[in-house]
Structure 1
Amino acid sequence: MNVRREHPPRERGRARAMCGDLAMGFRFAFSGGREGWVRALLTSVGVGLGVALLLLTTAVPNILDARHARESARHDFSLTPEEIPAADDTLVVAHAGSLWHERDIRGRLLQPEGARAPLPPGISGFPAPGEMYVSPALAEVLKSSGGELLRERLPGKIVGTIGEKGLIGPAELAYYAGSDDLAERIGHHSAVARIDHFGDIGDEGSGALDPVLLLLVLLVFVVLLAPVGIFVATAVRFGGEQRDRRLAALRLVGCDGGMTRRIAAGEALAGAVLGLVLGTGFFLIGAEIAGTVELFGVSVFPDYLTPTPVLAALVAVAVPAAAVFVTLFALRRVVIEPLGVVRTAKPARRRLWWRLLPPLAGLAMLYPMIGQGDGNGDFNQYLVTGGVLLLLVGVTALLPWVVEASVARLGHGAVSWQLAVRRLQLSSGTAARMVNGIAVAVAGAIALQMLFAAVQEDYTESTGRDPSRVQMQVDLTDDVDVAAAGRKFEKTEGVRDAVALSHTSFGDRRKDPEYTLDITVGDCAALRELARLSTCREGDVFLAESEVADYDAKLRELMAPGATVWVDPSYGDGEPAAEARWTLPAAVPAVNVREDSLQPHVTGLLVTPSALPAKAEPSLYGNVYVRVDESVPDAREHVRNTAAAIDPLVDAWSWTSTQRSEEYDTIRTGLFVGASAVLVLIGASLLVSQLEQLRERRKLLSSLIAFGTRRRTLTLSVLWQTAIPITLGLLLAMAVGLTLGVILLKMATVPLRVDWASVLAMTGIGGAVVLVVTLLSLPPLLRLMRPDGLRTE
């Protein structure tokens, strides 16, 4: 091998020589027979897994844009308040959505009013009454054996499938059904509207995130991507021991130290380039699989997963550059001599002082952001991102020192323990590199979980409803007989009780009243769910008294016994109302509203049905409160079926004691989806790393077996070699995660509180991933522990 080089002129010759060294290393990566190819393949697989996730991240902007564009294209309510008159190009649309086992079903009823009525995206024609177009996912549910109840709710004949252009994801449940009686309901139901086109959702409902939510978004991206970068950096260092032997051979034939380092960087560059190719393949395969997977209610079409060109180009440049940098940095203090590598001797003790600099710098960057979450200003994105990254990178800097310092003090024990400890004492850096990624992921997860748990109350509000009293509420349409609907729900399978209440209002004048108050109508049993009634008979009227019922003298005079009022008075030139004259009975006793009333803020009059004049009945609209027997399978689905049978526009929904901000929930869902992807990467990368280390130790394991060492002893030693570093790594991750979490809580100006259950859960998940990887690596380990592993060429 000719290793002498000419350098005329000096600078150009030096650059040419460096490129030649890198090219030589590139060729060496794929030489050396089967060993070389296995080494290159392991490196490229490790890098490829990271590249696939990085490409997925670069596709996130396109995913969000594509979903928003699809939602905008099918938007079917006009944003202008003016009513559109019926014409040849208008369409009446009604929202008839529902739930199926707590999954949203997007339902629309359509009534075209002319030949040029706008057609919704994704369907080829308008369904006739009794017909419907359904999404592929909904079609599968309807065809399944468990979809019988849903088929009862959606009895229309399926005449077509909604195409991709009409859906935001392949797992979305949606349908379009035909109708012929929607036009007459415009103005009587908020879910019915006339439109002349689809689309133009614009930026409706969008707005700037508040500082704390913006902080959460930044942290989600940083915490999810930091382990990916670390895994890529770890993967390019696979095969370190064999590489050192090759570098020593190069020194023997005349290469100087700089050349050998550049050749090693060339080998890493080859693995990174091949990793880019494999990563692109993994990404494309994953994109196709993504069309069949739904995570936390989110699904995407494969064509959504198009990486942003600029970000994809950045990944293509950054990964090979990082491979070269990491290799040169790893070899900066390694003395490569013709007869071996000095690192195989007892290494010098690692220094602590410089390893503390990254986390301290991170804390310094985050310090100015403390208190910015209380409205004092926005967080500086660069300081937050840089500070969190430096703190997490500090884990990778501190962990090798922690592992080295800890294993150096470990004492004697069983043979398996001694083998593991001695191995760790000789190569603690390799063990730390394997654990780095999982430690960073756990540290970030702990900090994020602390912040999410602390701010959750700020984005959660009480609904004022008690699910232990009533489990479901059905909001009826105006033209439904409330009492009859209540009886239907009482007979529904899985319903223990149903309380029907109607509502209207009354005023002091027939038209344009100056004072108005509410009327709640129900039988005595229903009214007792609202107020404490000592006695009640049909025809009685009661005055609701509570803290919120602040009646002045004029209102009390309006509700005085014997007073004359007008039920459902008219306003301006609007549609005529009932304008029913009503003389209150001679006795209107005051009753106290229950603290656990089924309706919040009960005011005005509580009336039994016969007390109202007959003319007022058309003005009543109502609700049915349903108590569900949870022991009956699909009890809630039976309730929804009864609601749909009464009227497709009737809304049946479950009570909850609290509700969270939609923006907060979206960010939280994004975290869960991203964390699931990162966990898969962590497991796959750890498995590849474990297999690579076992492959390097094949001859050592075979030698020990040949000398009579028991397989059980060797297996336990390998398990100890994994357990010790991961335990130290998780302890360090807990410390860093708690520190970062406290800083984030101070930044968000929320009370300091450590959710130890979440901290231990995040740590346990990290440990579980390592345990699964270790168990999966046992079969290859047992195959390697054979005397014939000493055979060589």
Structure 2
Amino acid sequence: MSSAVFRQWYRDLAMGMRFTFTGGREGWVRAVLTAVGVGLGVALLLLTAAVPNLLSAREARAEAREDRSIGYLDDQSKPTGESLVIADTDTEYRQREIRGRLLQPEGAKAPLPPGVAEFPAPGEMVVSPALSELLESDAGKLLRERLPYEMVGTIGQAGLIGSTDLVYYAGSKEIADRVDGSVVARIDAFGMDTTGLPDDEVDPILLLLTLVVFVVLLMPVAVFIATAVRFGGERRDRRLAALRLVGSDGRMTRRIAAGEALAGSLLGLLFGAGFFLLGRAVAGSVEVFDISVFPSDLDPSPGLALLVAVAVPTAAILVTLFALRGVVIEPLGVVRKAKPPRRRLWWRLLPPLAGLALLYPMIGQGSENGEFNEYMVTGGVVLLLVGITALLPWVVEAFVARLGSGAVSWQLAVRRLQLSSGTAARMVNGIAVAVAGAIALQMLFSGIEARYEVPTGQDTTRAQLELVLPEDARVSVVGEKLKRARGAQTTAALSSAAVSATAKDPELLTDLTVGDCAALRELATIPSCRDGDVFRVESADDPSVTEPAVPGKTLYFDPTYTGDEQGAEIAWKLPAAVREVPERVDALRNGTVGLLATPGALPAKTESEFYGTIYVRTDPKVPDALDEVRNAAVAIDPLIRTWEWETTRRVDQFADIRTGLLVGAAAVLTLIGASLLVSQLEQLRERRKLLSALVAFGTRRRTLGLSVLWQTAIPITLGLVLASTVGVTLGAVLLRMTNVKVSVDWSGVLAMTGIGAGVVVLVTALSMPPLMRMMRPEGLRTE
């Protein structure tokens, strides 16, 4: 570009920007509407640009508070002036996870947990702000019984992953003697050492899923920004005709129009920065799908923020020039007001076909044939979704051209759509792209979900809670107390150990499970049982594991191994009758083999050789039964670990991607609603005089209101039909790429389509009050 051409572009763009800000109230209103629409999109783009820093900051704090890594000392270690004994007391409360630790410093230089100013004394605790708020509220009454400590301080941001984390550190003086290297550990530093650790291998399908999620969430944002810079198109055309009248040529006029769009986009950048800072300020008090952040974590990457700052104004100029490419602007008007030529279909099919061509080579690849080409994936998905924005104007025009007579409201709406089908399609483009992407993602998630959901083998109808006892706990004592706990309907207390055929250097061990008759019947089919009985469950895969279990034979608890400390070598002579019983098909523990014994069959002083587990079936009639049982367990021993049963467990990476999608979708849905509302208000503002004139000629307000509803309903219906078609197509291609059988969850498709339609209905309802005000005769007043 020569210097003369550059100066000409600069002058024309600057003139257009001056017209925006010096065109009186009308110009300012148009500029503000454009800025609001662009600003909402910019705010979401800045939020996306902050995601890398957000994830790294959360990961850094999670690693910094890790207490089983760099400072871990052997469970046989001795106390030092720099050691700290820490016990894991994590729990749950009403489906929310609570991170808990008991602390007992053993010296003046014991390491403090991140975010904690000083160690709490025994009976005291420091808590996160969110946990403090919960404990002080009525909703935390039951939790206060579980945490009978005095709150003496607050955990700082350095010790929390998110602003709504539920975390506490409590002081103790009783855990130093219970160090076992797992639940209770001795450490001399906090933090995780990642040096030398191999990088996690990323599953190709999960990488594909991540790419598609980002594209699908960001595409509607780009569409809305492109739509927002074209606000006020009809009024702008009249101004452009006036410019032609005073001597500007066609190219200069288009550049001036681009300058007006540039001014709106620059103002939109300021609005977007303001929206982002406002959202950043309130982010600390918001939790979406159990995810919360600190405002300081939302720090956009400078490079990505600069890209947004350059891309948005550039897109505003290009979109405006592209929109005016077929418009003849003459001194006495704009030829667009005549009947426009019919839109051509052939070139509108090229983007989606090109997208399919990019994705086709990866069909059938699955996760076994290497990573997917990220550029081809991104390009293919983008082109398919862009194809919606190209096809929708043609679909709307072709459909409304065939609509005929009807009620007055219908005729007003149809005629308006026939004259400006492009404007109607632009307003719907964003929601159509969002729905198409949501349908494709829903199909992809549903198709691959089984691959990343691991069956646990747990039957939640048999038990809901599993309580793992610390090594020094007595299962018989804990079991009796839990039987009387509020919320516990039935309990099965089982303890396990291994016994050998020899007292020294055993070659083969046999599993031994001990419980009363009722508890043992949860594992095996036992016709008759009384205290003192012993049973044997054979292994179909490895019969040798029960070889030592011969009636009348002597077995040994805690045998001595060469080079190790002397074992207890407690002898146990099996009774003369050891009945063989089959394992239950729906046993509480899968793969129960070896010996089953009732407490009366064991020699004295063997209970310390067992580790105990108690299974609890909760009473459905008791409110908060799970938490009532947890409270009872903590009251017995705070080191009892409680696990809630579930039939399946999702792979963490898959669950994280799904959570990220839900959070992002909530943000995009908010943007969609806000941008649609701004677009709708802008459309009504441009037609204010026409609406007032129709009312002045006697048209009923109800008729005009219905006409506006029809003008929204027709294009949105066409847009959702097109979005469903493209979304199902894209979803099918993605499923074939992951080598999964294509199946369409029509209920999910209808749900995604219904959500999109619901957003439009809500926006239309919110635009009704302004519409009623614009129908007043004062709307005919002009300057």
State if a TM-score over 0.5 links the two structures.
yes
Q: C-alpha separation between the residues in 1 aligned to 2:566 and 2:395? A: 80
Q: State the match for 2:248 in structure 1.
A: 255
What secondary structure, in the 3-state scheme, does the structure 2 residue paired with 1:519 have?
strand
Identity of aligned residues (%): 65
Alignment check: 8 A CA contact 2:71 2:188 kept? no
Q: State the match for 1:484 in structure 2.
A: 477
**Per-residue CA shift, 1:118-144, capped at 9, x if unaligned?**
111111111111111000100011101
Q: State the match for 2:294 in structure 1.
A: 301
Give the superposition deviation at 1:85: 4.2
Residue 198 of structure 1: which of 168, 187, 190 is its match?
190
Q: State the match for 1:56 in structure 2.
A: 47
Residue 702 of structure 2: which of 712, 715, 724 is its match?
712
Give the superposition deviation at 1:181: 2.3
Q: State the match for 1:657 in structure 2.
A: 647
Q: Given the two structures, how large is their TM-score scaled by the length of structure 1?
A: 0.97
Q: C-alpha separation between the residues in 1 aligned to 2:491 and 2:579? A: 26
Give the superposed CA RMSD. 1.4
Give the superposition deviation at 1:238: 0.2
Q: State the match for 1:68 in structure 2.
A: 59
Q: State the match for 2:753 in structure 1.
A: 763
Q: C-alpha separation between the residues in 1 aligned to 2:262 and 2:182? A: 62
**Per-residue CA shift, 1:663-707, capped at 9, x if unaligned?**
100000000000000000000000000000000000010010000
Q: Which moved more, 1:652-661 or 1:366-375?
A: 366-375
Residue 431 of structure 1: which of 424, 435, 438 is its match?
424
Give the superposition deviation at 1:727: 0.3
**Equivalenced residues, count:** 780
Q: State the match for 2:625 in structure 1.
A: 635
Cα separation, partners in 2 of 1:234 and 1:739, compared to 1, 3 Å: same
2:42 partner letter? V
Residue 231 of structure 1: which of 224, 231, 238 is its match?
224
Give the superposition deviation at 1:623: 1.1
Alignment check: 8 A CA contact 1:211 1:372 kept? no
Alignment check: 8 A CA contact 1:577 1:619 kept? no
Give the superposition deviation at 1:570: 3.4
Q: State the match for 2:552 in structure 1.
A: 562
Alignment check: 8 A CA contact 2:244 2:250 kept? yes
Kindly indicate whether residue 115 of structure 2 is the aligned counterpart of residue 125 of structure 1. Answer: no
Residue 721 of structure 2: which of 725, 731, 753 is its match?
731
**Per-residue CA shift, 1:292-329, capped at 9, x if unaligned?**
00011110000000000000000000000000000000
Give the superposition deviation at 1:572: 4.0
Q: State the match for 2:24 in structure 1.
A: 33
Q: Which moved more, 1:577-586 or 1:166-175?
A: 577-586
Q: Given the two structures, how large is their TM-score scaled by the length of structure 2?
A: 0.98
Q: C-alpha separation between the residues in 2 aligned to 1:81 and 1:637? A: 32
Q: C-alpha separation between the residues in 1 aligned to 2:133 and 2:72? A: 39
Q: C-alpha separation between the residues in 1 aligned to 2:142 and 2:546? A: 50
Q: C-alpha separation between the residues in 2 aligned to 1:115 and 1:565? A: 48
- What are the residue-to-residue correspondences of 1:344-743 with 2, within 5 Å? 344-545=337-538, 547=540, 550-552=542-544, 555-574=545-564, 576-743=566-733
What secondary structure, in the 3-state scheme, does the structure 2 residue paired with 1:461 have?
strand
Cα separation, partners in 2 of 1:85 and 1:370, compared to 1, 3 Å: farther
Alignment check: 8 A CA contact 1:546 1:592 kept? no
Give the superposition deviation at 1:275: 0.2
Give the superposition deviation at 1:537: 1.1
Give the superposition deviation at 1:624: 1.0
Give the superposition deviation at 1:448: 0.5
Q: C-alpha separation between the residues in 1 aligned to 2:145 and 2:398? A: 68
Alignment check: 8 A CA contact 2:84 2:105 kept? yes
**Per-residue CA shift, 1:393-417, capped at 9, x if unaligned?**
0100000001000111112111101
Cα separation, partners in 2 of 1:463 and 1:575, compared to 1, 3 Å: farther
What secondary structure, in the 3-state scheme, does the structure 2 residue paired with 1:373 have?
coil
Q: State the match for 2:207 in structure 1.
A: 214
Alignment check: 8 A CA contact 2:510 2:548 kept? no
Q: C-alpha separation between the residues in 2 aligned to 1:525 and 1:500? A: 9
1:702 partner letter? S
**Per-residue CA shift, 1:399-446, capped at 9, x if unaligned?**
000100011111211110110011000000000000000000000000
Cα separation, partners in 2 of 1:504 and 1:52, compared to 1, 3 Å: same
What secondary structure, in the 3-state scheme, does the structure 2 residue paired with 1:372 have?
coil
2:130 partner letter? A
1:199 partner letter? G
What secondary structure, in the 3-state scheme, does the structure 2 residue paired with 1:615 have?
coil
1:707 partner letter? F
Give the superposition deviation at 1:637: 0.7
Q: C-alpha separation between the residues in 1 aligned to 2:620 and 2:136? A: 26
Runs of 5+ unmatched residues, structure 1: 1-9
Runs of 5+ unmatched residues, structure 2: none
Alignment check: 8 A CA contact 2:474 2:608 kept? no
Alignment check: 8 A CA contact 2:70 2:191 kept? no
Alignment check: 8 A CA contact 1:75 1:201 kept? no
Q: C-alpha separation between the residues in 1 aligned to 2:672 and 2:565? A: 64
Alignment check: 8 A CA contact 1:546 1:593 kept? no
Q: State the match for 2:85 in structure 1.
A: 92
What secondary structure, in the 3-state scheme, does the structure 2 residue paired with 1:434 have?
helix
Cα separation, partners in 2 of 1:464 and 1:206, compared to 1, 3 Å: farther
Q: State the match for 1:13 in structure 2.
A: 4
Q: C-alpha separation between the residues in 2 aligned to 1:290 and 1:201? A: 30
Give the superposition deviation at 1:557: 4.0
